């Protein structure tokens, strides 16, 4: 009678489906799955926990995966193991292809439990690790994490005298002239990175004008095995007095672009950009600039920046 009562909400086609589900996803017991599934089916689009034995609370993404953002605070490893196993069974039955499990460092013992069920580390940032489980067909199609680091430099050009701001890094085996710069922070536009880094290293305030170049380098020794993207921006000075950071820089000065293009103690990319800037001074920077425009993204409420040579208004 109990089984009939539990199956009452389902259609006649439920029993064949349920037998197939048991065959593909064996959990603890038929009764355990049926009782869980009966409670789950009436609320299958809700992503909140529904009491003891319910799947872990998870959000669904647009790519067929689920993300578990919060784990039970006082759960034991044994209880978590059972809860995770049952949750994965439910997510598989729904057709999800991947699980992302966010584990805070204070619950790192649960990472071992998840690993025993096929989860692997995907990445870790500060006080949280993210584990993943591929449940789709064939080899995992989950994207790798952080394949590139992004460095940004600012070439601050004084158009009135043809000088550009350059520095020599401290604690380098070979001190060469270069443009001030550093790594871009998460969610920071490259123009903002260039302006920030120039001020932090030299004390000179500036404004973003354009993107000049992109360098791609693989096997970068300081990128933890990732590839490196290095972007150089053209900036205009707002102030001119140098007050450089002596922890990072050995020297800092305004140098003639023509001299920078020829000196032997400048990095090859610095010499090349100096020549590009000289060409811009002589022919107009519109001949070398990649200007920026902000456009709406396909994701609601988001925008992105696109960099390209300016085109006539009749094409925009």
**Band of pLDDT at residue 53, cut at 50, 70 and 90:** low
Q: Are residues 179 and 72 in the same domain?
A: no
The residues annotated as belonging to the active site are: 200
CATH number of the domain residue 90 falls in: 3.40.630.30
Domain boundary among 90, 112, 145: 145
Q: Are residues 31 and 86 in the same domain?
A: no
Q: Are residues 163 and 132 in the same domain?
A: no
CA angle 37, 39, 41 (to 5 degrees): 60
pLDDT in tens, 239-253: 999 999 999 999 999
Q: Are residues 73 and 188 in the same domain?
A: no
- pLDDT averaged over the chain? 85
Token reading at 22: 């048991």
**Band of pLDDT at residue 45, cut at 50, 70 and 90:** very low
Number of domains comprising the chain: 3
How is residue 49 annotated by DSSP? -
Q: Are residues 81 and 181 in the same domain?
A: no
Classify residue 293: in a domain, yes or no: yes
Classify residue 52: in a domain, yes or no: no
Q: Domain of 20?
A: 1-42
Classify residue 49: in a domain, yes or no: no
Q: Are residues 92 and 223 in the same domain?
A: no
**Cα(169)–Cα(178) distance, integer angstroms:** 8
Among 246, 253, 216, 249, CA closest to 231: 216
92 contacts 135 by C-beta, under 8 angstroms: yes
- Pairing relation of β-strands 177-178 and 98-104? unpaired
CATH number of the domain residue 165 falls in: 3.90.79.10
Q: Are residues 237 and 202 in the same domain?
A: yes
Classify residue 212: in a domain, yes or no: yes
Q: Are residues 191 and 291 in the same domain?
A: yes
**Cα(38)–Cα(28) distance, integer angstroms:** 16
Q: Are residues 170 and 285 in the same domain?
A: yes
Calculated CA dihedral for residues 72, 74, 77, 82, nearest 10 degrees: -50
Q: Are residues 264 and 204 in the same domain?
A: yes
What's the pTM? 0.73
How confident is the model at residue 277, as a pLDDT? Answer: 97
Q: Are residues 273 and 138 in the same domain?
A: no
pLDDT in tens, 283-298: 999 999 999 999 999 8
Classify residue 207: in a domain, yes or no: yes
**Cα(229)–Cα(151) distance, integer angstroms:** 6
Q: Are residues 135 and 262 in the same domain?
A: no
């Amino acid at each position: 009678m109990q089984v009939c009562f539990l199956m009452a909400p389902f259609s006649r086609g439920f029993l064949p489906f349920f037998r197939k589900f048991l065959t593909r996803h064996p959990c603890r017991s038929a009764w355990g799955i049926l009782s869980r599934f009966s409670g789950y089916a009436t609320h299958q689009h809700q992503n909140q926990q529904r009491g003891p034995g319910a799947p872990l609370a998870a959000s669904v993404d647009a790519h067929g995966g689920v993300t578990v953002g919060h784990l039970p605070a006082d759960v034991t490893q044994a209880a978590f193991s059972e809860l995770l196993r049952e949750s994965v069974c439910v997510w598989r039955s729904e057709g999800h292809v991947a699980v992302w499990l966010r584990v805070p460092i204070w619950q790192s013992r649960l990472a071992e439990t998840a690993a025993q069920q096929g989860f692997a580390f995907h990445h870790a940032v500060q006080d949280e690790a993210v584990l993943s489980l591929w449940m789709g067909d064939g080899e995992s199609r989950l994207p790798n994490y952080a394949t590139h680091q992004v460095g940004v430099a600012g070439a601050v050009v004084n158009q009135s005298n043809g000088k550009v701001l350059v520095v020599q890094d401290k604690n380098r085996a070979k001190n060469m002239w270069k443009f001030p710069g550093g790594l871009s922070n998460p969610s920071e536009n490259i123009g903002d990175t260039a302006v920030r880094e120039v001020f932090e290293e030299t004390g000179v305030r500036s404004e973003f004008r354009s993107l000049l170049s992109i360098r791609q380098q693989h096997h970068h020794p300081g990128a933890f095995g990732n590839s490196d993207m290095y972007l150089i921006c053209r900036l205009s000075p707002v102030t001119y007095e140098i007050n450089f950071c002596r922890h990072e820089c050995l020297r800092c000065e305004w140098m003639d672009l023509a001299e920078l293009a020829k000196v032997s103690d400048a990095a090859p990319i610095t010499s090349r950009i100096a020549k590009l800037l000289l060409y811009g001074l002589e022919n107009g920077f519109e001949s070398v600039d990649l200007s920026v425009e902000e456009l709406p993204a396909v994701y609601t409420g988001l925008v992105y920046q696109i960099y390209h040579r300016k085109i006539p208004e009749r094409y925009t």
